[in-house]
Every structure is written in C-alpha cells, then in structure tokens.
Amino acid sequence: MSGMFKIPLFMYTDSYKISHCAVYPEASKMVAYAECRSGYDGDKEDTRILFYGIRHVIENYVAVQWTIEDVEKAEAFFTGHNAGHTSFRFPKDLFLKARDLLKVRRAFILCLTPRRNSSSRRTTAIFRHCGISSRAHVPDYCREGLLPNLHLPGDGAHHGVGRHVHYPTTVATLSRRVRDLFEIAYERTVDESDYWSLDSRIHDFGFRGCTCLEQSIAGGGAHLINFNGTDTLTAAYHAQFNLNNGKPVGESIPATEHSVMMSFPSEKVRRLIQVFGRV
C-alpha cells in the first residue's frame, strides 16, 4: 500500500472526480493547472503570493508509486460507495494503466512556474491567476499508444496537490506581509547596527496549536522563509536536513513556563539566571 495512512494519491480528491472519465470528451492529451484566484485577503493592489510547499508534495506523495493492491482496494471501496451502497463507477483498467505510466519517467509531467518543464524554487513569488502547477498527460510515453480519458487521475490529483500547498502558501504570504511592515518600522526607528534582530521578531510556537504533525512542518517551514525564530522543532529539523543541506535554519533560546515557575516556592527566575545567565 502507498500513501499516508495507506491511502493512495488518486484517492486524495472528491468522490465525483472519479466519475469524470465517463463524461470528458475523447482526447489524446490533457493539461490541468492550478492557480491562486486573488491576492491575500482580497488585496487587489498587491496580489503577490509566496508559493511554498510543493517539494514536500512531490517527494512524499506524487513520487510514491501506486501498487496493484492500491487499485484493487479502491475497486472494492467503490463497489459500495454509490448511493444506497451500490456500485460507484471506477475505471480500474485506466488506473492500472496509469500505474504503469508512472513507472516511466516524465509519463506525467509536473511543471512548476515560472519555467515550464523545470523545477522552480520551492519558494517563488507569483501573482494571482498565475499557474502554480500544471500537469500534462503525454501519451508518447505509453507503450500502448493513446489512452483516451487517462486524464482522470491527474485531474483529481490536483485536489491533493492544491490541498497541500494552500496552507503553507497562505502562511508564507501572510508572514512576508508582516515582515514588510516590520522592515518599514525598522527603517524609521531602529539603528542600522541592530537590523540583525529583525529575523527573530516573530517567533513560531505553532506546534501546540496544529491539527497534525504534517501541518506543523508545512506551516512552520513557511514561517522560516521570512523569520528564523522558532520553537517548532518539526519544522526546523525538516527544513535543516531535508531542504537546506544540513545548515541550520531556525533558532531558539532556553525559556521558562508555568511548569518550571510553579516548581519553586520562590526565587524562580534566580534559578534561570544561575543556569543560563551570562556574567
């Protein structure tokens, strides 16, 4: 079985998408793309968006090979998924062919803006209505020639890709806007010799508020695009070893909280100074 929780990539979409193979016109090629429809919070003047998170999707989802068991279990699932627990149309033969295609490099081409047919930087400033990804189904790589309607897996998979990049892209974009405001304030009120402190003006304690581990990595990593202060270890560790060749990205310092402060009858801060203080 492939995919997180043993759920394959082609199931990362809405049920009705699976039925589209029967309603699309016959075709030898299809291109699907994703875009951001507006700037942050509907801003019409500054529509820049900081696109982030695609590498995680490619390495952990798109690049994971489907298995025959995946397709067979999907067939069993859809047998009772239609209204009244009747059979829901599932093109098993097409998904098996898609599995074979995925074994051939570039059978499905994932193109990331701004350069088609090449990998973009994992953090790219784009504008609304600018395609952030496109997927072309190219039959030339299929040993059986043209496969009508084989666009279905890729079209549905865009839901999975979009779901993964929407959150970190939103965090990175908001974080960038906050930093822009800080930079203006720094220019007005801070000595140039102290500009170094700007990188840590927002410190991420987001791990405790995340719905899942993956969210902490995606959102925490997006934060680290603009600031280096973080206590979200999952994001800092992932960014350092999986994205930055082992070079440190996030920084933190020892700190206290209620569990420490309530452990002493008095002089709690004195203990902190003794352990971590400087002479």
The sign of the CA dihedral 173, 175, 178, 183 is negative
The confidence score (pLDDT) of residue 228 equals: 96
Find where tokens 């999986």 sit: 242
- Count of residues for the chain? 279
C-alpha dist (Å) from residue 118 to 37, 135, 160, 220: 23, 12, 21, 26
pTM of the model as a whole: 0.81
Comparison of pLDDT for 218 and 118, the residue scoring more: 218
The confidence score (pLDDT) of residue 88 equals: 95
- The stretches of the chain forming alpha helices (DSSP H) are 54-57, 68-78, 92-102, 152-189, 213-223, 233-238, 258-261, 268-276
Q: Does residue 144 have a pLDDT over 50?
A: no
231: confidence class by pLDDT, cuts 50, 70, 90: very high
**DSSP string over 81-93:** -BGGGBPPP--HH
Alpha carbons within 13 angstroms on the beta-carbon side of residue 245 total 0
Beta strands 108-111; 131-137: pairing state = antiparallel
Comparison of pLDDT for 89 and 34, the residue scoring more: 89
Structure tokens at 209: 């508020």
Q: Where are the domains of the chain?
A: 4-161, 190-276
- 17-21, 31-35, 40-44, 202-206 — which is least confidently predicted? 31-35
206: confidence class by pLDDT, cuts 50, 70, 90: very high
* pLDDT tens per residue, range 79-107: 999 999 999 998 888 888 777 766 654 44
The confidence score (pLDDT) of residue 136 equals: 56
Least Cα distance to 60 among 135, 156, 138, 165 occurs for 165
Comparison of pLDDT for 175 and 150, the residue scoring more: 175
